[in-house]
């Protein structure tokens, strides 16, 4: 059991605090109202991606549950430092602030739910940390090791972020958009006023149909397949729905004359080449009624340097090759464990390095 991770299913020792939060002197007395789950864009995060809990996790793994709980209680008044998801959550709150100004009666807002395997005693330190950092998180689920799937579905979750790859796989298997977050190797300053989200294409926004062709039949057959099916939209991947809700919010800003200064910006960052296989990706988005603000076709070049220029709050990819490359250059990356790439090892170049597929 990984204590510092999310988990949730309405069972015995699970605790859900909905609309309840400890108050301290730093907490504003007047705060916005949480939207109803059925109206909101719900982002579920685990405590270990919202905050840096590396020390606590090591204590749990080395000394066990009782020592872990004792440490948490002894350090209850010490707030956790920010984790990899922290800037992303702050950016969501910045978008909400602008939405509330433009649409004061609307509940179509981001709503963050903290889901954690932690014992309820640890909840006090989490609440203190949320208040210390002035985060607006009203909904908690502390589940003591149970599966998160029940609660994720109950909250109509649009995206689940965790450091626990097993729980992420479980969520994806149940049709919930999810990714395993990784901390970058260096700190990068990201925008505090514009949410930036970067997506890989195949097996993230799109299905792994094209990836399967490459893995099983090779590069030439992949190009041939993409040319033949250029006008046939790809099936959806696990993150398509999240891009969809981002686009819906973007259109609300456009309707108020804020296209050029929209506080949400999206990116397609793919290893596909524009000439040989890019058209199908763009035509698929068009067929869905979706778009990204920018599309980068890298033709197999590393994604890390381009992401370092974009400075997204989060980058989604299904291949660890790209996750590691992004993290090395300071990008918060999230692994989407979906598709054939999870089953077939990367091909090796002559120098022994791994290579990804051109459809990525």
**DSSP one-letter code for 274:** I
Helix (H) or strand (E) holding 159: strand 157-162
SS3 171: helix
Give the pLDDT band (50/70/90) at residue 290: very high
266, two tokens: 């999206």
pTM comes to: 0.87
State CA 222 to chain mean position distance. Answer: 29
Q: Work out the average pLDDT over 335-348.
A: 76
Question: In sequence order, what DSSP letters do the residues of 241-252 get, joined into one string?
Answer: HHHHHHHHHHHH
pLDDT over threshold 80, residue 6: no
Give burial (CB, 10 Å; 0-12/13-18/19+) of 160.
buried
What confidence tens digit (pLDDT) does each residue in 65-97 have? 889 989 999 999 999 999 999 999 999 999 999
Q: State the sign of the Cα–Cα–Cα–Cα dihedral 46, 47, 49, 50.
A: positive
Give the pLDDT band (50/70/90) at residue 30: low
What confidence tens digit (pLDDT) does each residue in 44-54 have? 999 999 999 99
pLDDT for the residue numbered 8: 33
SS3 101: helix
Strand partners, 197: 266, 314
Pairing of the two strands 347-348 and 354-355: antiparallel
Active site residue 173: no
Determine the Cα–Cα distance for residues 275 and 219; give it in Å rounded to an integer.
Answer: 15
Q: Which residues contact 4 (CB under 8 A, 6 or more apart)?
A: 46, 47, 48, 53, 56, 57, 60, 116, 117, 118, 163
CA atoms within 13 A on the CB side of 175: 4
pLDDT for the residue numbered 318: 96
User: Which of 111, 200, 208, 356 is an active site residue?
Assistant: 200
């Amino acid at each position: 059991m990984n204590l510092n991770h999310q988990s949730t299913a309405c069972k015995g020792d699970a605790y859900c605090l909905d609309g309840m939060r400890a108050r301290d002197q730093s907490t504003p007395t007047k705060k916005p109202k949480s939207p109803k789950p059925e109206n909101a864009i719900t982002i579920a995060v685990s405590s270990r991606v919202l905050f840096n809990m590396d020390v606590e996790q090591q204590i749990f793994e080395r000394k066990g549950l009782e020592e872990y709980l004792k440490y948490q209680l002894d350090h209850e008044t010490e707030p956790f430092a920010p984790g990899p998801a922290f800037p992303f959550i702050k950016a969501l709150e910045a978008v909400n602030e602008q939405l509330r100004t433009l649409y004061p009666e609307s509940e179509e807002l981001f709503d963050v739910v903290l889901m954690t395997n932690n014992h309820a005693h640890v909840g006090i330190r989490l609440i203190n940390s949320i208040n210390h950092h002035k985060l607006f998180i009203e909904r908690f689920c502390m589940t003591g090791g149970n599966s998160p799937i029940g609660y994720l579905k109950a909250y109509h979750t649009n995206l689940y972020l965790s450091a626990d790859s097993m729980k992420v796989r479980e969520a994806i298997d149940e049709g919930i958009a999810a990714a395993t977050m990784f901390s970058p190797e260096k700190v990068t300053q990201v925008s505090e006023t514009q949410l930036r989200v970067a997506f890989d294409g195949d097996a993230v926004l799109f299905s792994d149909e094209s990836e399967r062709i490459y893995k099983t039949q090779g590069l030439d057959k992949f190009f041939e397949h993409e040319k033949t099916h250029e006008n046939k939209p790809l099936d959806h991947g696990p993150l398509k729905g999240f891009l969809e809700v981002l686009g819906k919010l973007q259109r609300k800003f456009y309707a108020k004359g804020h296209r050029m200064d929209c506080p949400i910006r999206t990116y397609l960052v793919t290893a596909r080449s524009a000439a040989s296989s890019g058209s199908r990706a763009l035509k698929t988005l068009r067929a869905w009624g979706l778009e990204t603000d920018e599309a980068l076709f890298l033709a197999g070049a590393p994604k890390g340097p381009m992401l370092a220029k974009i400075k997204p709050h989060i980058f989604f990819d299904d291949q660890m090759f790209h996750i590691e490359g992004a993290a090395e250059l300071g990008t918060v990356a999230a692994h989407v464990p979906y598709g054939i790439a999870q089953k077939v090892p990367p091909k090796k170049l002559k120098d022994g390095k791994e290579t990804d597929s051109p459809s990525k």
